[in-house]
Amino acid sequence: MAPKPRRVAARPDPKDWRDDELLTFSEAASLMWPDGPITSSTLRTAYRQGLLETTMLARKLMTTKRALAAMTEAARRPARERA
């Protein structure tokens, strides 16, 4: 398991982060899914598939809690009814 990013170690509770605060993919995965199943690699895949809104600053891909919530909500599928 990779060590927690420094900023996440300082503020480990997602409630301490604003919805529009920029996070690296590593920070986002560590903050929102500390025990998995989403990793920074999963977020890179979602970015490449056009599922995750990102910002590129100084050649670094960054995202926000709001974008992560939108991605998760868009992926949600209704439960099937049993016959």
* 18-76 pLDDT, tens digit each: 999 999 999 999 999 999 899 999 999 999 999 999 999 999 999 999 999 999 999 98
In a domain, 44, yes or no: yes
In a domain, 14, yes or no: no
Structural domain boundaries, residue 29: 21-74
pLDDT for the residue numbered 44: 97
The pTM of the whole model exceeds 0.75: yes
Question: H-type helices in 1-83, by residue range?
Answer: 6-10, 25-32, 40-48, 65-75
Cα 54 to Cα 11: distance, rounded to the nearest angstrom:
22
Burial class (CB in 10 A: 0-12, 13-18, 19+), 46: buried
pLDDT for the residue numbered 1: 65
In a domain, 32, yes or no: yes
**Tally of structural domains, the chain:** 1
At residue 83, does pLDDT exceed 70?
A: no
